Structure 1
C-alpha cells in the first residue's frame, strides 16, 4: 500500500450496532486441486461505489451485533490454482492505526505494475492507494464479482465500526468469504453456508455490503490466489481534496489500455430546481416500448445477477427493458438511482423508476428498484424464489422516485 499522508476521514453511514459471528467451520482437508469453477478476469465495476463497508453477521445464543460493508468483467482462460491450506485459527491482522476515505476505484484487465501504482500515488490530490485483486468468480453457482484484499490494510478504507473489528478481519484473513446483503438475502447465500468452488471450501461468514458498486464478495488475498483471481489488478484511491472527475481523467491517462476508473458514490450534480429542456427524458413511444418489454416478462424467475432475457434481478430487468427502447441505463441499482432527477412519488409517471433501502446492514444503501407502471402499481423482480410481477407500490423503506434522463444515465460511471 502506498500512503503518502495518513488522514483520519469522516465516514458516511456508520452502523448502529456491533458485530457478532456464528462459530467458524473448519475447511475440509479433502479439497480438490482441480478447479470446478472459472474465475473471470475483471474489467470490473464501471459503477457506483457507495462508501461504507457494512457487515452483518449472527451468532446463536448471543446478542446480535452489526457493523457495515458491498459490484462487469471480462473472462480469462481457466488456470489451475493450488489450494491454500486453510487456517485452523483466525490469522493475525495488524491493528487499525488510521482511517482513510475511499474516493475512486481502479480496475485493469491485467496486473498493475509497481511503476504504474507509484505514478497513481504521485498524482495531485492522492493521499493513499490500496492494492487489491478483482475478478468475477463462480460462488455457489453464481457469477460474483469479488475482491481479494489485505485485511490489515484494507480495513482502513471501511467505516469505523467495521474497521475496528479485529475479529472480523481475522476471520476474513483465515479464509471466510463476506458477501453482500443483496447476494446473501436476495441471492440465496445465507450466513453460515459452506460451498465448494475452484477446489476450495468457502464459508459465508458475514454479510458484507461493500458499497463498491459491483463488488458482492470479499476474501483475503491468499484465498483469492487459490480461487485463481488475478493479482494486483485493482486499486482503491483516497483523494479527499481532489476533484474526483478531474482525478479520474488523470488516472485514465496513467493506466494501461483497458483500465477503468469508477467514482465512489457518484451523485447527480444538477440542481433539483433546474429546468430540464425538451428532449431530456424518454419520448412517449420509448416509454411505451420499455413498459411493453417489461410486462412481457411477467412470471420469469428472479436470478441474482441475471440480465435477461429469460431471468432477471431487479436492476437487470430495468436495464433490459430500457434497452429495448434504445436507452442505455447503468447496470446496478445505485447507479440507476442517479440516472435522472428525483421526483415526488405523487408525481411519478409510467416508466419512472422507484427505489428502496432494504439493506439492514447499511440503511443508507439503495438496494432495490422497480419500474412504475401507473395506477399505483409497479413492475419488479423481487428475490430468489420469486418471479417478475406487477404489484401495488409499497412505501416501506422507500428511497425515492427517479425520472430517467438518457443523457445523464449514459454518463454515470
Structure 2
C-alpha cells in the first residue's frame, strides 16, 4: 500500500495526468506478483480495489478544485477512467494482473481452466479477460475475439478512452482480429497476451493494430 501511495503522490506532485498514476499502479501490481503460476485469494486483487478507489477519490477532489478546464484535445486523450461502465471494466481487469494466460480460459465469472494447451492452466485468454471485465459492468460482449469485434462501435485510435476494446491481427495468413485488449488510457491496455505470459499492461501502439470498439 505504501508503494501505491508513493505512485499516486509522485504523479500528483509532478502534475502528471491521472493515467500516469494508473499506469504506474498497474505496473507495480504486475511486478509485485510473487507467483505467476497460481491465483491467491490473498493476492493483490483486494489491494488493487482499495488503491484504485483511493486514486479515484483524489482525482475527483482535484477536478472539483480545478478552475481551468482542459482543452478538447486533452479531454479526448486523457479521459476520466474513474466513472461509468468502462471504469468498472478497467478496475475488474486490473485486479487480474499476474493471472496466467490460459488458451480458451476465462469468462464472465473469472479465471477458468482452458482447452488444448490451456487445459491445465487456470487463467484467461485475451477475450476471456475482456469478457470477464465487461461482465462486471453488466455487459455481455461475447466470448471470442471476433464476437467482441462485432459487439462495439468503431472508434478512431486518437479517441480511445478507458474501457474501449482494442484489436490486433497477429497472423497475416488469417485476416481479421485474433487478439483483444482493454484500454486503460489513451496509450495503454491491460491484456492476456500469450501462452507462458500473465495478464499485464502493454502499450496500445504496436504491430498488427486493427482497430478499437466502444460498447
**TM tier, smaller:** 0.5 to 0.7
- Say if 2:137 is the partner of 1:330: no
Cα distance, 1:375 vs. partner? 4.4
Deviations 1:195-253 (A, max 9, x none): xxxxxxxxxxxxxxxxxxxxxxxxxxxxxxxxxxxxxxxxxxxxxxxxxxxxxxxxxxx
Cα distance, 1:338 vs. partner? 1.0
Counterpart of 1:41 in structure 2 is none
- Say if 2:128 is the partner of 1:316: yes
1:290 is aligned, of 89, 103, 108, to 89
Q: TM-score, normalised by structure 1?
A: 0.28
- Equivalents in 1 of 2:196, 2:206: separation in Å? 22
Which structure shows the bigger proportion of residues in helix conformation?
2
Counterpart of 1:261 in structure 2 is none
- Say if 2:198 is the partner of 1:387: yes
Cα distance, 1:285 vs. partner? 2.9
Counterparts of 1:253-402 in structure 2 under 5 Å?
A: 284-307=83-106, 308-309=110-111, 311-362=123-174, 364-402=175-213
Cα distance, 1:288 vs. partner? 1.7
Counterpart of 1:403 in structure 2 is 214
- Equivalents in 1 of 2:211, 2:186: separation in Å? 17
Cα distance, 1:286 vs. partner? 1.8
Instruction: Number of aligned residue pairs: give it.
Output: 121
- Equivalents in 2 of 1:345, 1:321: separation in Å? 21
* 3-state SS of 1:337 partner: helix
Please report the RMSD computed on the Cα atoms of aligned residues, expressed in angstroms: 1.6
- Equivalents in 1 of 2:150, 2:104: separation in Å? 20
Deviations 1:134-172 (A, max 9, x none): xxxxxxxxxxxxxxxxxxxxxxxxxxxxxxxxxxxxxxx
Contact 2:101 2:123 in 1 (8 A): yes
Which structure shows the bigger proportion of residues in strand conformation?
1
Cα distance, 1:341 vs. partner? 1.2
Q: Show structure 2 runs of 5+ residues with no match.
A: 1-81, 112-121
- Equivalents in 2 of 1:347, 1:289: separation in Å? 19
Cα distance, 1:401 vs. partner? 0.6
Q: TM-score, normalised by structure 2?
A: 0.54
Contact 2:102 2:124 in 1 (8 A): yes
Cα distance, 1:399 vs. partner? 0.7
* 3-state SS of 1:320 partner: helix
Contact 2:155 2:211 in 1 (8 A): yes
Bigger radius of gyration? 1
Cα distance, 1:284 vs. partner? 3.6
* 3-state SS of 1:402 partner: strand
Q: Show structure 1 runs of 5+ residues with no match.
A: 1-282, 405-413
Counterpart of 2:66 in structure 1 is none
Cα distance, 1:360 vs. partner? 3.1
Which structure 1 residue ranges, 4+ long, deviate > 3 Å from structure 2? Answer: none
Counterparts of 1:5-154 in structure 2 under 5 Å?
A: none
* 3-state SS of 2:131 partner: helix
- Equivalents in 2 of 1:285, 1:360: separation in Å? 36
